[in-house]
Amino acid sequence: MYGDVDLNIIDGSAIWAQSMAQSLAAAGCEVTVLLKAPVRTDRLTAPLDEASGIRLVRPYEDRMLRDLGPGGLTPEQAVELMGRLHTRKPFDLVVVRGRRLAGLAAQETSLAGRLWTYLTDFPHGVDELTAGTTAELTEIALASRFVLCQTEEMRAFLESTVPAACGRAVLFPPVVVVPEGVLADGQVHARTRLAYTGKFAPRWNTLEMTGLPEELARVGVDAELVMIGDKIHAEPADWAKRMRKALESSPHVDWRGGMSRAQALRQSAECDFGISWRDPDLDASLELSTKVLELGALGLPVVLNRTPMHEALLGADYPLFAGQDSASVVAVIARAYHDRAVYAEAARRCRSASADHSLERAAERLRGYLAEALPSAPEGTDPERPLKVVIAGHDLKFFTRLAEYLDSLPGLDVRIDEWEGLNSHDQYRSRELAAWADVVICEWCGPNALFYAKWKRPEQRLIVRLHRFELYAEWPRRLDVSKVDAVVCVSPHYADLTRELTGWPEDKVVVLPNWVDERQLDRPKLAGAEYSLGMIGIAPSRKRLDRGLDVLSELRGMDPRYTLSVKTKHPWDYWWIWNRPEERAHFEKVYRRIQREERLASGVVFDGFGPDVATWLRRVGFVLSTSDDESFHLAPAECAASGGIPALLPWPGADTIYDPRWIHEDPITMAEAIHATVSQGRFTVEAERARAEITSVYGLGRVRALWSDLVVHGRVPEPVGTGVDHVTT
C-alpha cells in the first residue's frame, strides 16, 4: 500500500493512509506499507508498527534508493520501489492513492490488474475535465481491479465521465477509528468548547473560526475554540502569518498543536461542538470530510455547510447547517446551546451517520471486494493442474463479465479465441486452442460453434450459448449437436423455441439466465425517482418506444410529475436500421409525436448511451419493457436490483422470466398500475419485493455459480425464473 502522503503531517490524506492499512489488516490481509518520507514523528506510524499484520517499509532509513530528496519519494520513485517489492514477493493487490502515482503505476505491466486505486485528486466538475485528464483516468481505470470512491457522488461523476470506470468503481467511504471508551458526555456546558482538528488553510475557514468565541460572547454564549493540528498552508504568505498569529493570540482560542490521532480524538471528546465549516467553493466537492465522521462518532454535533452530500448524510432538516458567513455559524451554535433538544438531536444524527464508517464496517466491505477479486478455486479443481478453458466468439461483450470471472478462478486456465467477424478468424490459432482445451465455450451459435464441433475430441466438452440472433439463421441447422454437451439459452421460452425449431434433444438445451450485478446496482435512489420512467435502448422499432410514450401520456394526464428518461443510441446511429425505409418511417413518426404532443414535449429526456447504467438508474423508478419480443430483456431486472420496479407488456415468454404482477395487458393498464403504486405510497415496499425476487434468481453470484458448475463439472442447472412455475428456492 502506498499513498502519496507524508505521515508526519496529520491531515485527511494521512489519516486515510493509516485507516486504510488498519482496515486491510482487519479484513485479513498481510499489509506492506511503503512510506513516502522519513519518520520524523511517530504519531501516525506508531499504531501501524504495533498492529498485527502490518509491516512498514522505510525507504529513507533503509537507503533503498540513492537519490532520495528532502520532499519524500517522487511518484516515479514510489512506483519503482513498489515494482521491486513485488518482484521479491508478489502482492495480490496494490493499493495506491494519488492520480499522478496511479497513472505511472498503471503503466507498470507487473502491477496492472492488481491495482486498487483510491482517487480524490481529479476535477470534480465537467467544465474542469480536459481530454488529457480523461485519458489519464481511463488508463488508470483500465489497469485497476477496483477504483475506490469515497462517496456515491464521486462514483457517479467518475462513471459518467470515464466509462472505463463502470463496473470497477466501488465505494470505500472514510473510516473512523475511535479509541475504546472515548466518548463525549452529551452535555452542553456553561462554557461551551468548539473543536476543530486538521490543517489550517484559507478555504477551510480556519482564520475566520478564530473569531467565533468573541462573536458568540456578543450573543450570550461563553465559548472557547480548541484547535488541534500543526499544518499551516504556506500560501499565500500573508495569510499564513495572520493564521499563526490568530492561533497564538486570539482570545479564547486554545491552539494545542499537532498530536496523534487518538490523542486528538480524546481531547475533542472533552468539547461540546465540532466545527467543519468551509468556504462555499468547497460545497461542490465530492469528498466527505473524515473529521465530520470522527467528531460525530464521539457524539459531538458538528457545524458544517449545507450541501447535497451533507443533506444525504444527516438529513435536509439537520439543525446545525451553517451559511456562508460567521454570523450563521454563531446563530446555529447559539440555538443548540440554549435548546438542549436541538443539541441532542444534532448529536444523535451525527453519531448515527458515523456508525457506517467504523473499522469493522470497513473491514467487512473490504472482505467482500477481496472475495470478488480473489475467488476460491471451485471444488474439484487443482490449481497445480488447471482445467483448460477456451472462450471463442466474434462478439464477447455479453460474456465479458463471466469470462473475467472464470479467468479469475484458481484451477482454471482460460484463453480467448476472439474472432474478427462471424467467419473471420486465425484458423491456426483456433486449431491450436481446440487441441489444447478441456472445455470450449462458444459465445453465439455461429461459425465458431461449427468449427469447434468439427475439431472436438471425445473427452472434450463443448458448450454453445445461443442467442435470438442466430436462432433463425442457418448455423443451428448445420451444427452436429451430438458433438455439443450443452446448448445454453437465457430464458425458458427461448429454450423451448430452440428445441421446437431445431429438433435437438430436450436435455441438450439448458437455461442459464442473464445476470444482474446486484452489488453495483444497489445504490440509493434520488428524490422523486418514483415519478421517473426509464427505457434502455429503443432501436430497432420492435422495442416499441411508441408504447412507452402511450404509458407516459396516460400518466402525465394523472400527474404531470411523471417523466420518461430514454438511455439509448438513436436509430440513425445504426446504419443497418436507418437504411430500412419502414424503420425510418416508424421513428420519424415517433419523434414527431414527442415534439408535437403537449404531454410529451416536456416529459421525455434522451440520455446518452453508455455503460453508466447503475448511476443512471438512481433517478429511475420504473423501467419499461414494451417490446414486441425479447429473449430476456435485462433492463427491467437491473431496475429491480437498483431498487426500482419492472413494468412489462406481455411479450412471448415474459411470464417465464418475470413475475406476472409486473406484466400488464396494455399501456393504459400499465400506466394505471404505476400510478396506483406511487399514489398509494407502495413504491418502496414493491421495489424491495422486486429487488429480493430478482437478485435471488438472477444475482451475479448465483449465475456465476451455475456457470462454474457447468464448466467445471458439466452439471446442468435446474430451471430458473421468477415467472409462474419457475420459482425455485
- pLDDT tens for residues 377-389? 999 999 999 999 9
Cα distance between residue 267 and residue 262, in whole Å: 9
The pLDDT of residue 82 is above 80 = yes
How far is residue 43's CA from residue 93's CA, in Å, rounded to a whole number? 27
Q: How far apart are CA 91 and CA 326, in angstroms?
A: 50
pLDDT at 125: 73
Torsion 214-218-219-222 (CA) sign: positive
The whole-number average pLDDT for the span 660-681 is: 98
Q: Report how far apart the first and last C-alpha atoms of the chain are (Å, whole number).
A: 42
Q: Please determine, for residue 728, whether its predicted confidence score (pLDDT) is greater than 90.
A: no
> Quick one: pLDDT at residue 126?
77
How much is the pLDDT for 725? 40
Q: Is 86 helix (H, G, I), strand (E, B) or coil?
A: helix
| 32-49 pLDDT per residue, tens | 999 999 999 998 999 999
Q: What is the pLDDT of residue 719?
A: 55
SS3 503: coil
Among 193-197, 396-400, 509-513, 705-709, the least confident range: 396-400
Mean pLDDT along residues 150-170: 93
Say what angle helices 75-88 and 99-106 make with each other, to 10 degrees: 50
The residue with cell 470450449 is: 440
- Gyration radius (Cα) of the chain, Å: 29
Q: What is the pLDDT of residue 179?
A: 87
Q: Which residues pair with 486 in a beta bridge?
A: 463
Name the 3-class secondary structure at 123.
coil
Q: What is the pLDDT of residue 128?
A: 76
Please, are residues 604 and 563 in contact by the beta-carbon 8 Å criterion? yes
596-634: buried (b, 16+ CB within 10 Å) or exposed (e) per residue?
Answer: eeebbeebbeeeeeeebbbbbbbbbbbbbbbbeebbbbb
Determine the pLDDT at residue 729: 27
- Alpha carbons 464 and 487: distance in angstroms, whole number: 5
Lowest mean pLDDT among 4-18, 135-149, 250-264, 604-618: 4-18
Tens digits of residue pLDDT in 146-155: 999 998 989 9
Per-residue pLDDT reduced to its tens digit, 516-548:
999 999 999 999 999 999 999 999 999 999 999
Contact 628, 544 (CB under 8 A): yes
Residue 300 has pLDDT above 70, yes or no: yes
Q: What is the pLDDT of residue 305?
A: 94
Distance CA 124, CA 132 (A): 15
Per residue in 233-266, pLDDT tens?
988 889 999 999 999 999 999 999 988 888 999 9
pLDDT at 721 over 50: no
- What would the DSSP string read from start to end of 699-722? BHHHHHHHHHHHHHH-PPPPP--S
Are the C-beta atoms of 108 and 80 separated by less than 8 Å? Answer: no
Q: What is the mean pLDDT of the chain?
A: 93
Helix axes 131-143, 99-106, angle to 10 degrees: 60
Residues near 672 by beta carbon (within 8 Å), at least 6 away in sequence: 554
pTM of the full predicted structure? 0.86
User: What is the per-residue pLDDT across 96-143, written as a single tens digit (0 to 9) for each?
Assistant: 999 999 999 999 999 999 999 998 877 777 777 889 999 999 999 999
Question: Kind and range of the H or E element at 3?
Answer: strand 2-3
Mean pLDDT of 623-629: 97
Comparing 31 with 472, the larger pLDDT belongs to: 31
